[in-house]
Structure formats: structure tokens, C-alpha cells
Amino acid sequence: MDEKKLTPKSENYSEWYNQLVQRAEMADYAPVRGCMVVRPYGWALWENIQDALDSRFKATGHVNAAFPLFIPMSFLEKEKEHVEGFSPELAVVTIGGGSVLDEPLIVRPTSETIIGYMYSKWIQSYRDLPLLINQWGNVVRWEMRTRLFLRTLEFYWQEGHTAHATAEEAEEETLQMLDIYTDFARNEAAVPVIPGRKSETEKFAGAVRSYTIEAMMGDKKALQAGTSHNLGQNFAKAFDINFLDENNTRQYCWTTSWGLSTRFIGAIIMTHGDDQGLVLPPRLAPIQLVIVPIYRNDEEREQVLPVVERIKRELEGIRLEVDDRTEVTPGFKFNHWELRGVPLRMEIGPKDVAKNSVALARRDIPGRDGKSFVPQAGINQRVSDLLETIQANMLEKAAKFRDDHIFEPKDYQEFKDVIEKDGWCFVWWHPDAENEAKIKEETKATLRCIPMEQPGGQGKCIYSGEETNIKAYFAKAY
């Protein structure tokens, strides 16, 4: 009984990723092309992501609700830019209960339209505002090229939808949610995202402005990890979401939407994973610590297991597993839990019992360098402190990898050379949709974001040579 080694990342990154997702029992392919089954271990990670985000949403006044999976086709057609943006990806239901439907139904690709319709019924006065609702659910987008977690026909996410009395409030909400996503990504997932604004070309269909958190994966490609959209009054006018203000004048609302999906699981895998498997951040890991008892016979077993049970009780508040399987070797168990990215492994054998100590092995630092022997006394605090150390180290390591692969080329030829090697370019940029399209055609790189933090000053656009005070990130992306 043995677990096959993964294809090394350096040899075939795509194959490494696909093997890892399946062998670590995160997800599997469904019988419908492009769909996935999220397995219990993957879903446990998603539940921890949900908890971390949901608590942040509720702390800022948002409440959860649920809206229908089916949307009348006419709803999407009310917002022209929106329907044009989603048309290629729509799944359309034309038959229900054996009869042709009077109006086709869309399996929701996103919920701005159906929620806009409901908001038009619920909002009458300025006293009804702001309306701050989030929903957890699934959506369907008919993607041609799919990959587990990163891009599937059906995926799970949260989508927030809010309505406000003023443009200023809507923009404040949009940026607040961007900040929440940034905080979550950095502090819970140890993914050092860059928050910024999307270009006009890359913004959400129907939005006035779109904001994003962009992450660098282990192959140096970019991943859009979460988005927040200021929808202005586009959907409010399309769905007649209006209210009487304090002067008894009827006004259209200003709305926002924002979302983060199971794609973020892919971000965690590709930011931290190595050739041994997953490396999960302790704050989100389904299992933070695995205890492996080590013994060769019944006598040693009777010495070790009571200590294991006592330490397990002392580790209150730590998400842990005791691997007491007898049909496999300790080495097999080590590989098994390394593959699944458990942040910390504790080994307890007869010698550890005699010395009142345990061995701790860190997943973020492979081999001997990550192993230490610590006293059993005060073990809860020691483990808690070490998990926090691992969390901080993972963020620092990922940030260094990102920064080491971001370049500031002096001219367009150097820009192309960097992109060819899958690096990111941080360059002066004069906004121009036509030039942006040319860059994409010539290099396959897209404008990932115009970061919120700008360096100041001025420079010449990397493509047009025009003077500009804006800098932007370009990279190949998933």
C-alpha cells in the first residue's frame, strides 16, 4: 500500500495541480463534462473559508438570504451590457415538466438581475436603505476549457448585493468589500494578493467600476481571486429600483455586487503547494495537527496510546486527527498527511514518552529543518504558537516569491521578454482599450489591475509612450 509521487511542479505544473487535487481528495471529476464533485476534505476547507468571510460580512452589517436558481430570460435582457457579457456562458432551460416553457429560464450565472427585481419591490423609501444582503450558493457558467476549482461549469460562491441612497455610499461599500477580501486572503489564506481596479476592458459586464484582488500562483501566472463591483445606477434603472428621499423626491438607487468563489481553493493550492502535496494555512486547514503514535509491539503501544489520549485532551481548540491505523507504516502516514497539507505533525513514541517530550514536524519547512522536540508540558500553547508561526511564514514566503517575479521593464521589448518568462510587469500605463487588446494579442498578457497603492509621479506608457501618472500590473492569467 503506497501513494504515488506527484508529477513535479517544474516538470508539468498543470499535471501536478490536477493530480494533487484528486489525490489529496479535494475534488473529483463529475460525470457531466466540466463539473466537479467537491469531496469532504475540500468542502471542509470551503466551510472554513465561508466562516472566515461570513463573520466579516456580518460584522459590517450584512445579512444572508437565498434567491432562486432560475432567472427569466427577459431579466437578463433588461441590462444590455450584462446580457452581452454573459451570453456565451448561459445555460438555458426551455422544457419543464415535459412542456415547452412560455419563457426560457437561465440557470443563474450571477444574481444581479433577480435580486434587482426583488429590491425594486422591497425598497420604497430612504428608510429602507442601505440594503445589505449576501447569499451563499452555486452558479452555472458554460465554460469551454475547465479545470477543477479554477474554472468549472458549476461552482460555489458567495455574492453580495447592496443598494444605497448615494453614489458615495455605493463606492464606499465597494471598496470596503475589496478591503475585506484583501484582509481575508492575506491573514487567513496567507495569499499576498494585490488589490486594485480593473480596466474598462476587464470590468464586470454592467458595472461602472470593478475592483479585484490578484494573486500570483506558483507558476507565476495571475489569478483573479475575488471581485467587488460598483454597478452605479445601471441595474437600478433597468429594474426600477427607486426610493423617495428625505425631500420626497423619487431617486434611483446606487447598487454594488461582490463575490469570492471556490476558485479561491485553487489559489491556496497553487500559492503554497509543493512537490509533496498541499501546504495549507493553519487558520483555514481542515486539520491543523495530526498525531502519529509510533510503536512496534503491544508493550510499546500500551506506553504510547495513553499519552496520545492525554495530549489530545489537552489540545482543546486545535482541529486535530489521531492516525492510529495499524495496517500502514509511520512513513506511509507521514506521506499521507503531507500530501493533504496538514500544517503540523506530532510524533509520539516510547522514547518521547520516557522523556516527556514530543516531536513536531512543520509542513511549511520540509525535512529535518522543520522538525523539533518539545516538552509535553504546556503543549497546547506550544502548538498554538507554532501554528501562528507557520501561518506568518507562509505569507512571508509567498510574498517573497511574488515580489521576486514582479519586474519594471524599461521598454516594450523588455516587457515582452518578462511576460515570455511568465513574470509580472509593473509598468506606466496610459488607459487605452485598443492598446490593451494589442498587448493581449501580442503577448497573451492581460492588465490584471491598476493597484490601489500608486507610487506617485509620472512616466511614459510602456506601449504608447504617452505621459501618465498610472501604473498597472500585466501578466498571463488563469
CA 136/CA 53 separation, integer angstroms: 11
Q: Are strands 424-428 and 406-407 parallel, antiparallel or unpaired?
A: parallel
Burial of 24 (0-12, 13-18, 19+ CB in 10 A): buried
Residue range 436-473, pLDDT digits in tens: 999 999 999 999 999 999 999 999 999 999 999 999 99
**All domains of the chain, ordered by start, with CATH?**
13-272 (3.30.930.10), 289-386 (3.40.50.800), 406-475 (3.30.110.30)
Nearest alpha carbon to residue 395 among 281, 253, 279: 281
**Residue 1, pLDDT score:** 43
Residue 378 host element (H or E): none
Stated pTM of the model: 0.96
Nearest alpha carbon to residue 57 among 166, 226, 177: 177
Nearest alpha carbon to residue 474 among 423, 437, 398, 431: 423
To which residue does cell 517544474 refer? Answer: 10
CA 190/CA 185 separation, integer angstroms: 6
Nearest alpha carbon to residue 201 among 361, 443, 437: 437
CA 359/CA 346 separation, integer angstroms: 6
How far the first Cα of the chain sits from its last, in Å, is 36
Cβ-defined contacts of 312-316 (< 8 Å, 24+): 314/379, 314/380, 315/289, 315/379, 315/380, 315/383, 316/380
Q: What's the gap between Cα 438 and its chain centre?
A: 29
CA 459/CA 406 separation, integer angstroms: 18
What the block records as the C-alpha cell of 84 is: 452581452
CA 188/CA 186 separation, integer angstroms: 6
CA 174/CA 226 separation, integer angstroms: 12
Residue range 289-305, pLDDT digits in tens: 999 999 999 999 999 99
What the block records as the C-alpha cell of 166 is: 448615494
**Residue 3, pLDDT score:** 66
Residues of the chain with pLDDT below 50 are 1-2
**Residue 309, pLDDT score:** 98
Cβ atoms of 89 and 143 closer than 8 Å: yes
Total length of the chain:
478
Nearest alpha carbon to residue 413 among 437, 435, 442: 442
CA distances from 256 to 12, 174, 216, 406 (A): 40, 6, 26, 31
**Residue 88, pLDDT score:** 82
CA quadruple 423, 427, 431, 434: dihedral sign: negative
**Residue 143, pLDDT score:** 87
The two counts, helices (H) then strands (E), for the chain are 14, 25
CA 359/CA 320 separation, integer angstroms: 16
**Bridge partners of residue 229, in order along the sequence:** 210, 257
Cβ atoms of 3 and 15 closer than 8 Å: no
Q: What radius of gyration, in Å, describes the C-alpha atoms of the chain?
A: 25
